[in-house]
């Protein structure tokens, strides 16, 4: 028997689709249903690695966790990872399938719509409910013929659609009505209800607007979700990064950690756990700053050469030297690790038109880009602290490290292989590089590392911060949505379908 379906679409990006999808996944799961998330096509440089070494959008990994499932490629069969304004890496079924040009977005629908259908069908056959997520807005009429993720998918899955608008952006009523007005009749029949997200204030003030939207569109209001300042669920796109990176620490004895805000930044969620520490201020760095930094980290980037040019043009290379000279810490993760080295080579032009480019020269390493892409889960021990760390690697680079170098991590071997050294560090750990995404997710290492920054200032260390597990946070999210969304209406949509 085919799964029942419901789909969350939005009037724009970052209106709350991913989070609401995760909440409904957990809500249905808690009722004893077998639930799976599905997003046909995702565009994000925040990816996650599945247990079988495939790559999907991070939001779908969080949604899988809401269903208490391991992430799998079928949850996000198409992943587009922007490299520039005009090109992107195309990942299909979790594996690199080539480069996508902005001039030809119809390429995905022509060549991979069948792969999307097959992924969805496997989920439909195996689960009771599939909660689908759209992307951006279904009313992008210039992209209608290229669509695989919004109404094209709603039609294929026979999914009723809940349309979500973000009142924080302003113009929410116009956005809801405008979206409905720009769709044709075949698509409108899938729209069944709407919800307003991120509201602050007295809900009754929205009554006239809600009535007007229902009158214009025939859609029922499924609820108004209040703004939740500290949502504390991993977010996916750069707007999410803009939100949490400006959190204010609760303590005055704080350490300041600068993150190079490079073009095409990827897996910025690596630093979200740091921003949640009471004595840490995460500072985005667009250019050289005279403000004293206790640490500076170069993050991953979809286009390392482009990021390297940005770093040099904006004086962030000089800043790194200044931080080290002042006794601070400088680190790099993935692409950030690569650009800390002496040379980056790209003989097959996998990332750029350059054969090679000089790095910052802080680490005595050399990196060469080569296929196939390395995508794998990884775990092991931090060499200096002894803390256990776990995460994943997603990279094209192969980095040559001197044999006498001090490793940053000792990773567990896979499939019976021996443990292997990973990354490197110098100056007693004040200069380091690693390919491990998720480095700061584990509280013991995170606190050890922050306390080492505190020690360099002569401050005593703080105890490990007690935080809720992701599972507990997803329960809290589902409780919140259950309170503010008309779940009887949601159940009715699920049962009645289109």
**How far, in Å, CA of 98 to CA of 422, rounded?**
28
Please tell me the distance from the alpha carbon of residue 468 to that of residue 343, in angstroms, as a whole number: 42
Which residues lie below 8 Å from residue 85, measured CB to CB, with a gap of 6+?
102
Q: Which residues contact 157 (CB under 8 A, 6 or more apart)?
A: 5, 7, 38, 120, 124, 130, 132
DSSP letter string, 362-377 = SSS-EEEEEEEEEEEE
Cβ contacts of 174-177, under 8 Å, gap ≥ 24: 175/11, 175/12, 176/11, 176/213, 176/217, 176/219, 177/212, 177/213, 177/216, 177/217
- Residue pair 74/116 in contact (Cβ under 8 Å)? The answer is no
Sign of the alpha-carbon torsion through 467, 65, 46, 400: positive
Tokens describing residue 215: 């009158």
Q: Parallel, antiparallel, or unpaired for β 366-382 and 409-411?
A: antiparallel
Q: Is residue 415 among the annotated active site residues? A: no
Given 25, 67, 334, 425, the catalytic residue: 334
User: Cβ(367)–Cβ(433) under 8 Å?
Assistant: no
| Residue ranges of E strands in 255-298 | 255-260, 265-266, 280-285, 295-298
Distance CA 316, CA 293 (A): 12
* Angle, CA 141 vertex, CA 140 and CA 143 arms, to 5°: 75
What SS3 state is found at 52?
coil
How far does Cα 256 stand from its chain's mean position?
23
Residue 334 designated active-site: yes
d(CA 49, CA 75): 12
Residue 368, token pair as written in the block: 């060469």
Torsion sign (Cα): 486, 36, 269, 85: negative
Q: Are 411 and 378 in contact (CB under 8 A)?
A: yes
Catalytic residue, candidates 14, 190, 382, 437: 437
How far apart CA 334 and CA 81 sit, in angstroms, is 15
From residue 211, alpha-carbon distances to 69, 168, 252, 355, 381 in Å are 39, 19, 48, 61, 58
β-bridge mates for residue 224, sequence order: 196
The residues carrying an active-site annotation are: 334, 437
């Amino acid at each position: 028997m085919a799964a029942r379906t419901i789909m969350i679409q939005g009037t724009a990006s970052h209106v709350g689709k991913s989070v609401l999808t995760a909440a409904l996944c957990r809500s249905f799961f808690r009722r004893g249903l077998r639930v799976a998330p599905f997003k046909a096509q995702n565009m994000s440089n925040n990816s996650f690695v599945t247990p079988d070494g495939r790559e999907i959008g991070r939001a779908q990994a969080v949604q899988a966790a809401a269903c208490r499932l391991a992430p799998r490629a079928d949850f996000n069969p198409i992943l587009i990872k922007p490299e520039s304004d005009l090109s992107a890496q195309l990942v299909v079924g979790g594996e690199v399938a080539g480069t996508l040009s902005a001039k030809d977005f119809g390429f995905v629908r022509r060549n991979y719509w069948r792969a999307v259908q097959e992924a969805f069908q496997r989920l439909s056959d195996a689960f009771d409910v599939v909660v689908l997520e759209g992307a951006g807005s279904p009313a992008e009429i210039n992209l209608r013929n290229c669509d695989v993720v919004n109404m094209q998918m709603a039609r294929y899955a026979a999914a009723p659609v809940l349309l979500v608008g973000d009142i924080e952006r302003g113009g929410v009523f116009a956005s809801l009505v405008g979206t409905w007005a720009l769709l044709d009749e075949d698509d409108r029949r899938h729209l069944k209800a709407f919800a307003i997200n991120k509201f602050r204030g007295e809900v009754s003030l929205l009554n006239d607007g809600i009535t007007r939207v229902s009158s214009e569109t025939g859609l029922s209001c499924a609820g108004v979700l209040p703004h939740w300042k500290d949502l504390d669920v991993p977010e996916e796109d750069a707007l999410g990064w803009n939100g949490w990176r400006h959190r204010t620490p609760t303590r005055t004895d704080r350490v300041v950690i600068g993150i190079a805000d490079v073009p095409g930044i990827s897996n910025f969620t690596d630093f979200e756990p740091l921003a949640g520490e009471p004595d840490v201020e995460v500072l985005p760095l667009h250019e050289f700053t005279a403000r004293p930094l206790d640490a500076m980290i170069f993050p991953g980037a979809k286009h390392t050469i482009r990021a390297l040019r940005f770093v040099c043009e904006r004086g962030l290379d000089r800043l790194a030297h200044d931080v080290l000279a002042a006794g601070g810490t400088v680190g790099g993760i993935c692409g950030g690790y690569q650009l800390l080295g002496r040379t980056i080579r790209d003989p097959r032009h996998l990332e750029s038109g350059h054969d090679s480019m000089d790095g910052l020269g802080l680490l005595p390493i050399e990196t060469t880009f080569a296929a196939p892409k390395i995508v794998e889960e990884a775990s092991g021990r931090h060499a200096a602290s002894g803390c256990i760390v776990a995460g994943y690697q997603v990279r094209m680079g192969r980095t040559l490290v001197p044999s006498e170098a001090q490793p940053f991590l000792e990773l567990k071997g896979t499939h019976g292989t021996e443990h292997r050294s990973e990354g490197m560090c110098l100056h007693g750990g004040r200069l380091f590089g690693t390919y491990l995404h998720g480095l700061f997710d584990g509280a013991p290492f995170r606190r050890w590392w922050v306390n080492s920054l505190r020690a360099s200032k002569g401050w005593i260390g703080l105890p490990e911060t007690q935080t809720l597990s992701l599972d507990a946070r997803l329960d809290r999210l589902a409780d919140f949505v259950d309170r503010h969304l008309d779940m009887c209406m949601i159940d009715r949509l699920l049962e009645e379908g289109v």
